[in-house]
Amino acid sequence: MDNSTTNLYVGNIDPRVTREQLYELFVQACPVVSLRYPRDKVLQTPQGYAFVGVPSVQDADYAVQLLHNCVTLHGRPLKIRRARPDSAEAADTAPVARLYVGGLAATVDAQQLARVFGKFGALYRPPTVHPAGEAGRRYALVEFRSYGDADAALDALAGATLAGGRVSVAYARRGAGGRGPPFGSQADRHLNAEARRNGRL
């Protein structure tokens, strides 16, 4: 379905509101298939708005009718409308299970990571390898279609040796510089399970 007709813009959000609280609120009105809650790139605090993906135009309209200016969180009434189709508002990310793999040796490439991590389940896309970060070692992001598979990989590979180097594995953090909240929250897992049930992932 066209994202422009199924994404909601949610504004006037108090910075104390969490991603999980937003998910719990909207899932009471309609099924939620995605949730994006942007953070300031420097301060890593919520920017006061979010995008909620729902399955249909009818779901979107119902959520607006039910929640717009009718729900107050920390003294602020939520402003809810359909996201504009001709802007970045409609963009959304798949609710994948994203792992951070740190301490990579210079010889480790995306193909090797795909072989190692792919043993635990289907990857959403090929791993992305990044140049040395602040700690001086290369790192990668590995995205699984299922949190169950990502959990298994995390349990088995955290602290493992790969190409002669000991790697660290953890759920990746959101935001610039990886200073935001990590993937793997209960809301993330619900969104992932719903997307897989509906064939969206």
Q: Is residue 62 located within the same domain as residue 135?
A: no
Domain with residue 29: its CATH number is 3.30.70.330
Q: Number of structural domains, the chain?
A: 2
Tokens of 107: 């010889």
* pTM reported for the whole predicted model: 0.66
pLDDT of residue 4: 40
Residue 85 binned pLDDT confidence (cut-offs 50, 70, 90): low
| Average pLDDT score over the chain | 86
Summarize pLDDT for 45-71 with one digit per residue, the tens. Answer: 888 899 998 888 899 999 999 999 999
Residue 1 binned pLDDT confidence (cut-offs 50, 70, 90): very low
- Tell me whether residue 187 is in a domain: no
> Strand, helix or coil at 24?
helix
Containing structural domain, residue 108? 97-178
Q: Is residue 130 located within the same domain as residue 83?
A: no
CA distance 50 to 190: 17
Q: Is residue 58 located within the same domain as residue 114?
A: no
Summarize pLDDT for 18-50 with one digit per residue, the tens. Answer: 999 999 999 999 999 888 888 776 667 888 899
